[in-house]
Chains A and B, each alone.
Chain A
Amino acid sequence: GAVVSQHPSWVICKSGTSVKIECRSLDFQATTMFWYRQFPKQSLMLMATSNEGSKATYEQGVEKDKFLINHASLTLSTLTVTSAHPEDSSFYICSARSWAPTQIEAFFGQGTRLTVV
């Protein structure tokens, strides 16, 4: 399958600081990328959908000013957690789909473990 790379794999930051997570599609161009959050032993919750060159669409209850998403190219999307607090500690996972109409599979990155202290 296609490869989606997420960086960093884990990050520890101080409360009040911002953290940027990158998501890259390595061998395909992704028109759409998705950002999920997963708490321990729970399912993946969709946070937002981003399309290249346009504003992200956030799910209900997700603060768009806190979770800034940028999808500047067909291979890169970034999620910035601004003014992070301990309750933002979670596992963040991105997913990407190819632009090709016949390719509907979604491929996931390896995830980023964020710990806010």
Chain B
Amino acid sequence: QQQVKQSPQSLIVQKGGISIINCAYENTAFDYFPWYQQFPGKGPALLIAIRPDVSEKKEGRFTISFNKSAKQFSLHIMDSQPGDSATYFCPSSEGSGAGSYQLTFGKGTKLSVIP
């Protein structure tokens, strides 16, 4: 059972546009929301993460918006570039104590940024 539902499955954005990927979760025990970026043939790379005590976090062109009451969070990529073309994941993260958080990955969103 998918613990975090991610949409869309694929996304095509023009260069310079804004890419938006959404995730919804049910388990209110989740307290850590990371986004990973994966290029073909590579392992996922941590892009940005947020805790539920803040509503927004920005790092460069990447922003996470978090809506605790709606149990939703989204990744915004501003000024999207062809180099951003990759698969993005918002895995569920649950656990407690040092080192015990376990990530469960969904299908991800394949982003294609076209010139």
Contact = CB atoms under 8 A, between A and B. Distances in A.
A67 interface: no
Query: Interface extent on B, as a size class?
Result: 20 to 34
Nearest to A111: B43
A75 to B, nearest CB: 13
Interface in A19-49: 30-32, 34, 36, 42-46, 49
Contact of A108 (B32, B44, B97): B44
Nearest to A43: B105
Contact of B42 (A30, A36, A103, A110): A110
Interface size class of A (residues with CB under 8 A): 20 to 34
A98 B99 CA distance: 6
Given A31-B99, A107-B46, 4 more contacts: A32-B100, A46-B102, A104-B32, A108-B45
26 contacts: A1-B46, A32-B100, A34-B103, A42-B107, A43-B89, A43-B106, A44-B44, A46-B102, A49-B102, A51-B99, A93-B43, A99-B98, A99-B99, A100-B98, A104-B32, A104-B98, A105-B34, A105-B46, A106-B46, A106-B103, A108-B44, A108-B46, A111-B41, A111-B42, A111-B43, A113-B41
Interface of B: 32, 34, 36, 41-46, 49, 89, 93, 97-108
